[in-house]
């Protein structure tokens, strides 16, 4: 059970999360290829999620069953993305469905 | 070996999450997995409509990254105070547990206050559910639905943790790794999940 383990250094985890968040902000202002920005941001987000789940939610110290339950939505989310890919491929053009709204007076 | 494990020899002894003392935790994890699928579906839908749009606005140019980065920082801090509060319960230190749980609740309330401020500012700038001055109309729809859904979770979490704070404060029995620890740990799982989801929302809605 989770209470049987020695407590991890939570402040160190906090520091890692802080550094990863700061890195995310830095990445969006870095002049690199868009694809690399996407890969970097998704990787950083997954690293943060892993830290929160493993240490704050104690998954690292729990039985594997709980980790499998936690991974299920990630797996199904990946399946959903693959299901949507054919729809994207079937649409030959992007739609400009914008509805322009005038900014309120005194703003922007 | 637990009673359940004794009754079912195929079950892992003592470590099984199906033991009576951890059934609440198992229930919360199953709930969170279902909830994660809800958020996952919303984010996948967001990706689909954004990909299909020719004039999707650049989010970080319009949504105020500095404020939301601070909101992210606030939620991360509240996750740390949550685990420190749980540690206080585990070690039988009622005062420590109360202070950290209170700080967690304050972190949640602060997040909601900042979200209300952010929404008000963006609405005044022209971001509406059905349109905005910058591009695709669904930009506003997806923004309000996803951040609103998360905000409702934070609201639920603040209420949940307030109840836990009252429980720890009014509990007449000694703290430790018993029932009180169990219920506070389960509430902590919910709170960390809210933080975890925000990490994804922050990345996909604000940064990408």
Each residue's pLDDT tens digit, B134-152? 888 888 999 999 999 999 9
Average pLDDT, integer, range A6-30? 89
CB B171 within 8 A of CB B180: yes
- Give how far Cα B142 sits from Cα of B36, B46, B79, B189, B193, Å: 17, 6, 26, 26, 21
Residue B7 has what pLDDT? 43
B1 touches A at CB < 8 Å = no
Nearest CA in chain A to B72: A21
Residue A75 has pLDDT above 70, yes or no: yes
Q: Across the interface, do A49 and B200 touch by the CB < 8 Å criterion? A: yes
Torsion on CA atoms A46, A52, A58, A59, rounded to nearest 10? -10
Q: Is the pLDDT of residue B46 over 70?
A: yes
Q: pLDDT value at position B51?
A: 82
pLDDT value for B99: 95
- The count of C-alpha atoms lying within 13 angstroms of the C-alpha of B14, restricted to the half-sphere facing its C-beta, is 4
Which residues in chain B have Cβ-Cβ distances shorter than 8 Å to A63? 12, 15-17
- Which residue's entry shows tokens 């319009």? B62
**Which residues of chain B does A62 touch, with a Cβ-Cβ cutoff of 8 Å?**
17
Mutation site for A-interface testing, chosen from B21, B27, B28, B29 by largest number of A Cβ within 10 Å = B29
Q: In a mutagenesis test of the A interface, which of B11, B21, B44 is the best target, namely the one with the most A β-carbons within 10 Å?
A: B44
Task: Give tens-digit pLDDT for B50-77.
Answer: 888 888 888 888 888 889 999 999 999 9
Residue A53 has pLDDT above 70, yes or no: yes
Lowest-confidence segment of A5-14, A45-54, B159-168 by average pLDDT:
A5-14
User: Could B207 and A49 be called an inter-chain contact, meaning their C-beta atoms sit closer than 8 Å?
Assistant: no
Predicted confidence (pLDDT) at residue B108 exceeds the cutoff of 80: yes
- Decide if pLDDT at B1 tops 50: no
Dihedrals φ, ψ of A106, to 5°? 90, 0
DSSP at B132: -
Q: Give the C-alpha distances (Å, rounded to integers) separating B205 from A7, A34, B46, B92.
A: 34, 16, 8, 41
Please report which confidence band the pLDDT of residue B49 belongs to, taking 50, 70 and 90 as the band edges. Answer: confident
**A16 or B22, which is more confident:** A16
pLDDT band at B105 (very low <50, low <70, confident <90, very high): very high
Residues in A closer than 8 angstroms to B193, CB to CB, are: 57
Cβ A101–B126 below 8 Å, yes or no? yes
pLDDT at B65: 86
């Amino acid at each position: 059970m989770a209470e049987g383990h020695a407590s991890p250094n939570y402040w160190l985890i906090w520091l890692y999360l802080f550094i990863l968040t700061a890195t995310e902000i830095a990445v969006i202002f870095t002049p690199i290829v868009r694809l690399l920005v996407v890969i970097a941001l998704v990787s950083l987000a997954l690293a943060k999620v892993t830290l929160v789940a493993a240490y704050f939610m104690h998954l690292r110290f729990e039985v594997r069953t709980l980790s499998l339950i936690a991974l299920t939505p990630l797996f199904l989310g990946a399946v959903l993305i693959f299901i949507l890919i054919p729809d994207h491929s079937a649409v030959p053009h992007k739609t400009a469905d914008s509805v322009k709204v005038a900014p309120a007076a005194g703003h922007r | 070996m637990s009673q359940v494990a004794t009754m079912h020899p195929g079950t892992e002894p003592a470590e099984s999450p199906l033991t009576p003392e951890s059934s609440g935790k198992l229930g919360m994890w199953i709930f969170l997995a279902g909830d994660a699928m809800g958020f996952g579906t919303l984010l996948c839908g967001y990706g689909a409509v954004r990909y299909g749009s020719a004039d999707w606005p650049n989010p970080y140019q319009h949504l105020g990254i500095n404020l939301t980065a601070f909101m992210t920082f606030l939620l991360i801090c509240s996750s740390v105070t949550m685990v420190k509060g749980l540690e206080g319960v585990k070690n039988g230190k009622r005062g420590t547990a109360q202070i950290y749980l209170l700080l967690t609740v304050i972190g949640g309330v602060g997040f909601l206050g900042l979200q209300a401020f952010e929404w008000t500012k963006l609405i005044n700038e022209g971001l509406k559910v059905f349109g905005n001055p910058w591009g695709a109309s669904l930009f506003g729809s997806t923004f309000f639905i996803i951040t609103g859904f998360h905000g409702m979770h934070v609201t639920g979490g603040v209420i949940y943790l307030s109840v836990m704070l009252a429980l720890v404060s009014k509990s007449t029995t000694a703290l430790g790794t018993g029932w009180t620890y169990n219920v506070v740990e389960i509430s902590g799982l919910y709170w960390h999940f809210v933080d975890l989801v925000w990490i994804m929302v922050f990345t996909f809605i604000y940064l990408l």
